[in-house]
A = this chain, B = another copy of it.
Amino acid sequence: MTADKPLRADARRNREALIARARELFDSGDFFDLRFDDFAALAGVGVGTLYRHFPTREALAEAVYHHEVATLCDRARHLRATLPADEALATFLRGMVDHIDAHEGLARTLATLMATGSGALAEGSRALEQAVTDLVAAAVAGGAVRDDVGAGAVMMALHGIGAAHDRPDWRAEADGVITLVLDGLRRPR
């Protein structure tokens, strides 16, 4: 959307180093425990540079989140194009659990960020939600899924999965949630 004006070589280098480092910290869950100063140092740039590129913690979070969301949306599109609607939905949701599982801290971080109410992630959130909405809509159109429960409920369930990532039995429970959601959706009223 925003025309990416070409950055100076060093500027691009720094920006990328910052995002890369941030992603690691997201994954390890240390993103919020870190002082801004130290984060800059870890990424090998001065604080000033960090501020120039990302004026707030959220701005940085968004840059990372953006990648994630884009990947997930692509996947949703792909599934929708290649599988029957209800299978596409199921596969996507199961995949989401895998994804969250693989990016332990990311889930926690995003949950925190959302609990904070940070509007910075709004765009990404909307994109992801749109993908889910499309998957559900296709399944509804195909007749495999009830139409009286919207995609919003599915998002909420996913939210719960992400937010509760520290539960000892997380993986099994997360799968359980998905099972309930999918089976619940299949029982039309």
Contacts and interface: CB of A to CB of B under 8 A. Distances in A.
Contact of A163 (B114, B167, B189): B114
A143 interface: no
Given A114-B163, A180-B181, A174 B156 contact: yes
Contacts of A115: 108, 111-112, 115, 163
Interface string A29-44: 0000000000000000
B163 A150 contact: no
Nearest to A180: B184
Given A112-B115, A114-B164, A153-B177, 13 more contacts: A111-B115, A117-B166, A152-B172, A156-B160, A156-B167, A156-B174, A156-B177, A157-B157, A158-B160, A181-B181, A182-B184, A183-B187, A184-B187
